Each structure stands twice: as structure tokens, then as C-alpha cells.
């Protein structure tokens, strides 16, 4: 069985399951420009002023002053369809009819969010292709579990150069309950013909860690950025590291 080392601790596992945004690529670099454009267009369409715009920002966890996703907020953890519902609810609370609110979100916020990714928007957080290749050679299977839509996820993996190195992918718009429900992990393990008890889950949010715990994986590894607080993973992660390069095949 392959053996991985994380900060001096050995793990005997058969597969690693990665989150995508904030784990493999820079979440803020990819999503915040999209969110800023979408929220600005939505606020302009609504025409209700700064109070509504601020409420829209807050509702999905977008920090406009720092142009960052709030850690573990909706923009960082949930699916596109749920973001649409959150924003429609804010518009409804500000006096718009529900069907009108939904239409406005799809007309203004959705287009920049679902636009196909471009290479310059993908900023890897490590040498992802080299690491994946090394883990493959060590006998490990690799999967990705993301809340992002498949239409963006698959081109992103291609830009990273890992499409042929990933054994299975579950996306937020697949017909499965979303993280942190364990269904996606169980499905990935079925596709790879391995037990969840032989899996390492790696992600940058508490939701990722709970996802792994709910599926009874072997271990959960939290990723924290330089501005992040490793303490947030206390009680959720077995290990906390700054990037996936700290996971080494032994």
C-alpha cells in the first residue's frame, strides 16, 4: 500500500481526494473578479443603492474592501445554484418579487460566474502537475471533489495539466448531495474501487474536513493560506499545511 508523509506523520492510503479552489488553485484570483463583476451588475440592475449592494456582498461572503472571499463563506464553499438562491433571497427581502429576483440574478450575476475559464485566471498553489504525477507513480489514485460546476472544473484541470492524472471527479452540479454530505466521497471511492478508510481528504475549508469525516476517511488535511488562521481547523483536521507540496510520497 502506498505511504504518504505529512509533517513527519506516515499515512497508509490508496487515494487522495482534493478540493479545487483554495487547495489546487488560488480561489480569490479566480473567483473574486467574477464575483465583483457579477455583484456590481446585479446591484446596478436592481438600482437600490449602496445598502443593497453591501447586503449582496455580505450574503455570499465577498469582502469587497479586500477583494477576497470570506473564509468558509458561501462563495468559498457552496455551489453556484445555491449562490443564486442566496442572492435572490436578498433581492426578495428588498422588495422584489421572487420570480423577478431569480430572473435578475440569472441575467446579471450568472454570466461572469459561469464564463469559461482562461489560462491566466488559473493560478496554481503548488506544482500541481508534478505532484500529481509523482503520487501516481507511487501507486496512489487521485480524485477531485469540488462545489464548482463541471463546465469550469474540467477545463481548469486541463490548464493545470492533470486531466490524465485524475481518476475521478465530482462537481457541484452533479446529481449528488453537496459537501459536506458524504455522498460525493462515497461515489468517488466506488469509481476508484477503494474504501473511504484508505483515503486522505485535502481541502481549505472546514466544510472539506467535515466532508471527509462524514465519509469516515483515513485522515483530513487542511490547507491554510498565508493570511489564514490554522487554528480554525482545530478539531476538524488531522494535519494543517500551507500547500499540497507538503504531502510527500514515502
Mean pLDDT, the chain, integer: 95
Q: Percent of the chain at pLDDT above 70?
A: 99
Q: How far apart, in whole angstroms, are the C-alpha atoms of residue 2 and residue 140? A: 6
Q: Quick one: pLDDT at residue 2?
A: 86
Residue 155 pLDDT greater than 80, yes or no? yes
pTM: 0.94
Q: What is the mean pLDDT of residues 107-122?
A: 97
| pLDDT band of 139, cuts 50, 70, 90 | very high
Q: Kindly report the number of other CB atoms within 10 A of residue 188's CB atom.
A: 24
Alpha helices in the chain (DSSP H): 27-46, 50-60, 74-77, 80-93, 98-104, 110-114, 128-137, 150-160, 183-192, 206-214
Strand 141-145 to 15-18 pairing: parallel
Residue 1 pLDDT greater than 80, yes or no? no
Q: Which CATH architecture has domain 3-25+122-249?
A: 3-Layer(aba) Sandwich (3.40)
Helices 50-60 and 80-93 sit at what angle, rounded to 10 degrees?
150
Q: Quick one: pLDDT at residue 80?
A: 97
8 Å CB contact between 156 and 144: no
| Domain boundary assignment for the chain | 3-25+122-249, 28-114
Q: Residues 25-73: pLDDT tens digits?
A: 999 999 999 999 999 999 999 998 789 999 999 999 999 999 999 989 9
Q: Quick one: pLDDT at residue 33?
A: 94
Q: How far apart, in whole angstroms, are the C-alpha atoms of residue 220 and residue 180? A: 13
| Cell, residue 85 | 438562491
Report in angstroms the alpha-carbon separations of 240 from 5, 47, 173, 179, 228.
Answer: 13, 44, 28, 20, 11
Amino acid at each position: 500500500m502506498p505511504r504518504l508523509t505529512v509533517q513527519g506523520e506516515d499515512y497508509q492510503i490508496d487515494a487522495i481526494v482534493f478540493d479545487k479552489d483554495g487547495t489546487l488553485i488560488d480561489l480569490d484570483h479566480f473567483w473574486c473578479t467574477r464575483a465583483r463583476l457579477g455583484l456590481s451588475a446585479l446591484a446596478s440592475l436592481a438600482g437600490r443603492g449602496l445598502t443593497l449592494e453591501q447586503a449582496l456582498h455580505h450574503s455570499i461572503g465577498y469582502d469587497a474592501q479586500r477583494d477576497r472571499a470570506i473564509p468558509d463563506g458561501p462563495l468559498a464553499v457552496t455551489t453556484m445554484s445555491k449562490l443564486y438562491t442566496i442572492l435572490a433571497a436578498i433581492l426578495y427581502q428588498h422588495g422584489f418579487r421572487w420570480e423577478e429576483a431569480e430572473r435578475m440574478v440569472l441575467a446579471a450575476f450568472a454570466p461572469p460566474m459561469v464564463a469559461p475559464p482562461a489560462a491566466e485566471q488559473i493560478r496554481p498553489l503548488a506544482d500541481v502537475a508534478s505532484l500529481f504525477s509523482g503520487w501516481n507513480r507511487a501507486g496512489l489514485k487521485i480524485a477531485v471533489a469540488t462545489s464548482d460546476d463541471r463546465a469550469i472544473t474540467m477545463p481548469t484541470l486541463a490548464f493545470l495539466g492533470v486531466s490524465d492524472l485524475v481518476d475521478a471527479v465530482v462537481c457541484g452540479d452533479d446529481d449528488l448531495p453537496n459537501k459536506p454530505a458524504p455522498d460525493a466521497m462515497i461515489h468517488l471511492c466506488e469509481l476508484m474501487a477503494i474504501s473511504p478508510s484508505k483515503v486522505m481528504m485535502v481541502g481549505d475549508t472546514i466544510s472539506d474536513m467535515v466532508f471527509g469525516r462524514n465519509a469516515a476517511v483515513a485522515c483530513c488535511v487542511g490547507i491554510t493560506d498565508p493570511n489564514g488562521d490554522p487554528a480554525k481547523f482545530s478539531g476538524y483536521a488531522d494535519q494543517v499545511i500551507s500547500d499540497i507540496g507538503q504531502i510527500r510520497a514515502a
